[in-house]
Chain A
Amino acid sequence: MSRHSQTSRRSPLLGIYALLVFAFLYSPIVVLILYSFNRDGVGGFPPRQLTFAWYRLLFSDSAIWDSVLNSLLVALGAVALSLTLGLLAALALDRATFPGKSIFRRLVLLPLILPGIITGLSLLMFAVFAGMQLSLATVFLGHGTALLSVATTELFAGLQKIDRAQEEASLDLGATPWQTFWRVTLPNLKLSLIAAGLLIFTLSMDEIAVTFFLIGRDNTLPLEIWARLRRGITPEINAISTLIFAVSVVLILIWYQIRTRTTGKEVQELLERP
């Protein structure tokens, strides 16, 4: 990248603007975290007394933790389902040709781009049609289906990066396609699977739009928070939000490390002078 020292007329305005955008993106979160420690609750300025009271309240709130457990169950189930079907779908898209393939591809990607309410309502109608009771099971089916698109996209990209010659070499050396799959293809996809899994897990834990219409008596975490919001704002919600934020950050950073490890070399080369 060229370095215009004495000839540069680059104003610092762009950098300042970028800083302001970052400030915009982060200030609500910073405020949220700050006020979770505020004794006087949410609102007013400046926050007066810092306390852990709200967190203590949170930890004794069993309803919240029940919903966390529900969310975890659904999320883990969704990860398992999406990754399995997604892997098959990615393999199919990468290696098989069949009539209606392009329609299939678009259909799989549809929940990704459509507003959640449409997918949620469609699945609701299906549940009613099939005579299913709304419960965590229906939520699980909804998440699995909606997040299938995420799994397929990530795993398809991962498959593209595999050198086809590796699988050919395996077959050449006497391994069956099944063995080749387990010994060559899958290990190469390890990082993609983990990255996709993390992403699906996070998205499932946060899912509201689809869940809204498929929920039965047991709440997931977002819906439990939503229900409480209808009753009013309490700093306890700030506290749980802060915890969600902290966990999310850790998960994203792990995801990012994994993601760039698969393309790490390219990123390195991009940043170095040619």
Chain B
Amino acid sequence: MTQPVSSAEQTAACAGSGNELLEVRNVAKSFGPREVLKHISLEIASGEFLTLLGESGSGKTTLLRLIAGFEQPGSGEIWMSGERLDTLPPYKRRVNTVFQNYALFPHLTVQENVGYGLQVSGVAKSEIPGRVNEALQMVKMREFAVSRPAKLSGGQQQRVALARALVNRPKLLLLDEPLSALDANLRKQMQGELKSLQRELRITFLFVTHDQEEAMALSDRIALLKDGALEQIASPREIYAHPATSYTAEFIGQTNLLRAEVRNGVASCGSLRWSTLQPTGAALFSLRPEAIHLSPDGPVPADAIRFRAVIRQQIFSGSSEHLELELAGQLLRARIPARGAISGEQEFWFSPADAVSVRE
């Protein structure tokens, strides 16, 4: 089942081919004895939606703040559009930030907040109301123009924060976990709005989050950070289908990690055996739960690896069943389409191509 490559994935493929907006070169940062970023290098293409994904402590927020200008790199450089960025103070960078807690000025009205950046940069007074209106229209907050932030809900404040940043037409927009304070439904809605806004404006977005579902939904590319280092950077589909490491495989989506011994093109793990291109020796494989199918449910391809397992637990979740399987002392997680209660020992299968080899 192949999908046509989207324009976003084309942009992603183009990264490094000459239209980079931002270049992070070998940047390291420590706070006292703590090494928060360990020699990170990456490029952001113009017009792309790149997400920095990671747990707390992974360094993603620190990297964002370095690009915004609130911290200085310990070593390394940051370049934007061919000019050195990290030597400039934040108020001289063509970069704007949407803060995690919005950071709206409580003593100014919504339109004064939005117009703030324009005012301090000396934009012509006659021009400001028009641009402020335009920005508020974009985030659908026109009717709240003269309200104070204290009177707005979280979602509304978030839109104002977005408008305040975008009105300055920055080259790069930084978003520091902007949706984390919103409830689930509002989050989904805002995700959609953010994505379409970015497409429309074609401004480069650098988005920080710890939520991998959010990252996959929004991004052209995901940069997964772990302990201050770049674990993998690729498009969501690529990173999901071909995780480079076991960490990536477990962080994004769910998976079964199989420790196998490979001999002459055959990997064996417990009582499972499948063909692989990996060299002889120890190897680690990632097998997604949805790649395991129940044999009685449909046609089984010829090269499928069959096995029998006992169903230890079944959890219904609307459209799927999450099964916990046991075979020969090994526990596997499987996800099959909803089909009613099932128990006992059953036959399952998976395709050897779905067992992706990953680094430790």
Direct A–B contact in the complex, CB atoms closer than 8 angstroms? yes
Query: Which residues of A come within 8 Å of B, CB atoms?
Result: 2-9, 273
The number of chain B residues with a CB under 8 A from chain A is 9
Asked if B324 CB lies within 8 Å of chain A CBs, one says: no
CB closest chain-B residue, reference A272: B31
Give bound CA distance, A181 to B70, whole Å.
49
Smallest Cβ distance from A179 to chain B, in angstroms? 42
Q: Once the chains bind, are B70 and A6 in contact (CB under 8 Å)?
A: no
Give bound CA distance, A5 to B87, whole Å.
9
Query: For residue A2, which residues in chain B have a CB less than 8 angstroms away from its CB?
Result: 69-72, 90
Give bound CA distance, A8 to B90, whole Å.
11
Give bound CA distance, A4 to B31, whole Å.
15
Chain A contact residues, majority secondary structure: loop
Smallest Cβ distance from A6 to chain B, in angstroms? 6
Q: Once the chains bind, are A3 and B71 in contact (CB under 8 Å)?
A: yes
Query: For residue B87, which residues in chain A have a CB less than 8 angstroms away from its CB?
Result: 6-7
> Besides A2-B72, A3-B71, A273-B31, 9 other CB < 8 A contacts?
A2-B69, A2-B71, A2-B90, A5-B72, A7-B72, A7-B88, A7-B89, A8-B89, A9-B89
Give bound CA distance, A7 to B88, whole Å.
6
Among A3, A5, A6, A7, residue most surrounded by chain B Cβ atoms (within 10 Å): A7
CB closest chain-B residue, reference A6: B87
Query: For residue A4, which residues in chain B have a CB less than 8 angstroms away from its CB?
Result: 72, 89
Query: Which residues of B come within 8 Å of A, CB atoms?
Result: 31, 69-72, 87-90
Give bound CA distance, A6 to B31, whole Å.
18
Query: For residue B90, which residues in chain A have a CB less than 8 angstroms away from its CB?
Result: 2
Query: For residue A3, which residues in chain B have a CB less than 8 angstroms away from its CB?
Result: 71-72
Give bound CA distance, A49 to B226, whole Å.
69
Give bound CA distance, A2 to B29, whole Å.
13
Query: For residue B69, which residues in chain A have a CB less than 8 angstroms away from its CB?
Result: 2
Give bound CA distance, A108 to B32, whole Å.
49
Give bound CA distance, A3 to B62, whole Å.
13
* A–B Cβ pairs within 8 angstroms, 19 of them: A2-B69, A2-B70, A2-B71, A2-B72, A2-B90, A3-B71, A3-B72, A4-B72, A4-B89, A5-B72, A6-B72, A6-B87, A7-B72, A7-B87, A7-B88, A7-B89, A8-B89, A9-B89, A273-B31
Query: For residue A5, which residues in chain B have a CB less than 8 angstroms away from its CB?
Result: 72
Give bound CA distance, A182 to B71, whole Å.
50
CB closest chain-A residue, reference B32: A273
